[in-house]
């Protein structure tokens, strides 16, 4: 299971990386916005994408839309972990095809629950 | 407060008095056919109008300057005072907050990442030794195995002592890494005070400008500002509980998503 973590803050990437490792996912890569993430996703055979929303360059929502529009990536499970808390935004993310939505600040238990739920549904 | 009242009620009494007397004189002069004198009076009138504006702008500029000059933070030690003295404006100081919080977060995570493998090694070894110990108590252990267990327990105690000591060190260093909050809290409070002062002064300026507009009869055509797109992301929401359009936590998100069929 190879996971890409996208967030513009290195501390948040590190926190998510640590939590994922505790959940048994040790094969992770990091990117700091959509523009860096997209080429990695296209060439890297990732199984799961965890992304922030608000980032300089390409936002998480645009990244999600780009993933869904890409023939090879469109089925990639995407979990959004973000401080964006407007109802409209959550609806927009759902419409764009997000698989899970976690608002910051979050707990390890919430992250675990959402990731498990996503994989349950896929299997 | 009294300054604000004055602004809300209108102009300085001194200036309204001047306006009144000069306006009356203007009518007189026009009626008397003294157009040259009337033109001078019109100039004087517009000067009176400008005067109050200049006076108010001057006052606001001074207090703005004062507010910015008073923007000082008490440093705890020489190193901090040097760092702070280099920063002259609010954005530098906020950048400093970002740096300090980032440094503290990384330092804390370094220490945690260092302690975690020790903790899990202790946990795993303790579990294995517990199982072996149970076997011994159930008298399922051969003498040869016991000798091995005996040595292993010995080693475990030594490493347990060292590991627990190191973890204790890490925990107390994590505690110390939180000292950023003191200085960053001070910086943020000062910036907040400055922003509030500037906001108040700007508000008085706006009120005053609206009076000037009323007097001069100026009508501004304001362009509708483009709404900030939520698509790009707007960051964390403040006072989420008091707002309808914002979720107040993960439970709200889950409810919303399940209502959408998730």
- SS3 for chain B, per residue? CHHHHHHHHCCCHHHHHHHHHHHHHHHHHHHCCCHHHHHHHHHHHHHHHHHHHHHHHHHHHHHHHHHHHCCCCCCCCHHHHHHHHCCCCHHHHHHHHHHHHHHHHHHHHHHHHHHHHHHHHHHHHHHHHHHHHHHHHCCCCCHHHHHHHHHHHHHHHHHHHHHHHHHHHHHHHHHHHHHHHHHHHHHHHHHHHHHHHHHHHHHHHHHHHHHHHHHHCCCCCCCCCCCCCCCCCCCCCCCHHHCCCECCCHHHHHHHHHHCCC
**CB-based contact, A118 to chain B, within 8 Å:** no
Is the pTM higher than 0.80? The answer reads no
CA–CA distances in Å: residue A50 to residues A2, A11, A77, B203? 11, 15, 9, 44
Measured between beta carbons, which residues in chain A are less than 8 angstroms from residue B237? 83, 85-86
Kind and range of the H or E element at A100? strand A100-103
- pLDDT for position B2: 43
Distance, CA of B63 to CA of B196 (rounded, Å): 13
The reply to whether residue B250 touches residue A103, judged by beta carbons under 8 angstroms, is yes
Give yes or no for residue A7 having a pLDDT over 90.
yes
Distance, CA of B237 to CA of B247 (rounded, Å): 9
Local structure of A106: helix, strand or coil = coil
DSSP state of A42: H
- Which pLDDT band holds residue B5 (cuts at 50, 70, 90)? very low
- pLDDT for position B179: 87
- pLDDT for position B1: 40
A2: left (phi over 0), alpha (psi -120 to 50) or beta: beta
Distance, CA of B2 to CA of A108 (rounded, Å): 54
- pLDDT for position B262: 75
**A46, A28 in Cβ contact below 8 A?**
no
Q: Of A17, A47, A44, A15, nearest to A30 (Cα)?
A: A17
Give yes or no for residue A15 having a pLDDT over 60.
yes
- pLDDT for position B212: 66
Give yes or no for residue A28 having a pLDDT over 80.
yes
Higher pLDDT, B241 or B111: B111
Burial of A34 (0-12, 13-18, 19+ CB in 10 A): buried
pLDDT digits (tens, 9 = 90+) for B46-105: 887 777 777 777 777 777 667 666 655 556 666 666 656 555 677 788 888 999 999 999
**CB-based contact, B224 to chain A, within 8 Å:** no
Cβ within 8 Å of residue A66, ≥6 positions away: A34, A38, A58
Cβ within 8 Å of residue B179, ≥6 positions away: B104
Read off the pLDDT of each residue in B204-208 and give the average, rounded to a whole number: 73
Give yes or no for residue B205 having a pLDDT over 80.
no
The reply to whether residue A62 touches residue B253, judged by beta carbons under 8 angstroms, is no
pLDDT digits (tens, 9 = 90+) for A63-114: 999 999 999 999 999 999 999 888 999 999 999 999 999 998 888 899 999 9
**CB-based contact, A110 to chain B, within 8 Å:** yes
Cβ within 8 Å of residue B210, ≥6 positions away: none
Sign of the dihedral through C-alpha B95, B100, B101, B102: positive
**CB-based contact, B33 to chain A, within 8 Å:** no
- DSSP lists the bridge partners of residue A82 as A103
**B174, B15 in Cβ contact below 8 A?**
no
Closest to B233 (Cβ–Cβ): which among A54, A88, A94? Answer: A54
What are B129's two structure tokens? 């030794």
**CB-based contact, A94 to chain B, within 8 Å:** yes
Local structure of A102: helix, strand or coil = strand
Q: Of B106, B104, B126, nearest to A18 (Cα)?
A: B106
Burial of A102 (0-12, 13-18, 19+ CB in 10 A): buried
Local structure of A90: helix, strand or coil = helix
Specify the length of chain A in residues.
123
- DSSP lists the bridge partners of residue B246 as A86
Closest to A86 (Cβ–Cβ): which among B106, B245, B262? Answer: B245
């Amino acid at each position: 299971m190879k996971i890409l973590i996208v967030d513009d803050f290195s501390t948040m990437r590190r926190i998510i990386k640590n939590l994922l490792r505790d959940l048994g996912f040790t094969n992770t890569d990091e990117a700091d916005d959509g523009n860096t993430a997209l080429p990695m996703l296209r060439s890297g055979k990732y199984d799961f994408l965890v992304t922030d929303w608000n980032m300089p360059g390409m936002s998480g929502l645009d990244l999600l839309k780009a993933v869904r529009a890409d023939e090879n990536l469109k089925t990639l499970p995407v979990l959004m972990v973000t401080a964006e808390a407007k109802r409209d935004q959550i609806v927009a993310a759902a419409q764009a095809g997000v698989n899970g939505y976690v608002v910051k600040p979050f707990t390890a238990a919430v992250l675990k629950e959402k990731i498990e739920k996503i994989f349950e549904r896929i299997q | 407060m009294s300054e604000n009242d004055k602004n809300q009620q209108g102009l300085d009494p001194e200036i309204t008095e001047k306006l009144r007397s000069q306006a009356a004189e203007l009518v007189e002069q026009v009626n008397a056919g003294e157009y040259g004198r009337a033109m001078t009076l019109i100039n004087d009138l517009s000067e009176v109008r400008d005067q109050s504006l200049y006076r108010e702008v001057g006052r606001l500029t001074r207090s703005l300057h004062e507010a910015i000059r008073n923007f000082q933070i008490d440093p705890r030690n020489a190193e901090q005072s040097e760092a702070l003295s280099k920063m002259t404006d609010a954005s530098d100081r906020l950048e400093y907050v970002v740096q300090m919080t980032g440094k503290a977060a990384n330092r804390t995570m370094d220490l945690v990442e260092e302690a975690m493998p020790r903790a899990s090694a202790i946990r795993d070894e303790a579990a294995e030794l517990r199982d072996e110990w149970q076997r011994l108590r159930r008298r399922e252990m051969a003498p040869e195995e016991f000798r091995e267990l005996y040595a292993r327990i010995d080693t475990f105690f030594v490493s347990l002592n060292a590991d627990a000591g190191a973890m204790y060190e890490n925990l107390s260093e994590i505690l110390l890494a939180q000292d950023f909050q003191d200085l960053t809290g001070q910086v943020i409070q000062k910036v907040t005070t400055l922003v509030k002062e500037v906001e108040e002064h700007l508000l008085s300026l706006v009120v005053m400008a609206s009076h000037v507009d009323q007097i001069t009869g100026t009508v501004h055509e304001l362009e509708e500002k483009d709404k900030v797109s939520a698509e790009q992301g707007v960051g964390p929401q403040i006072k989420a509980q008091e707002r309808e359009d914002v979720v107040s936590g993960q439970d709200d998100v889950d409810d919303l998503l399940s209502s959408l069929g998730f």
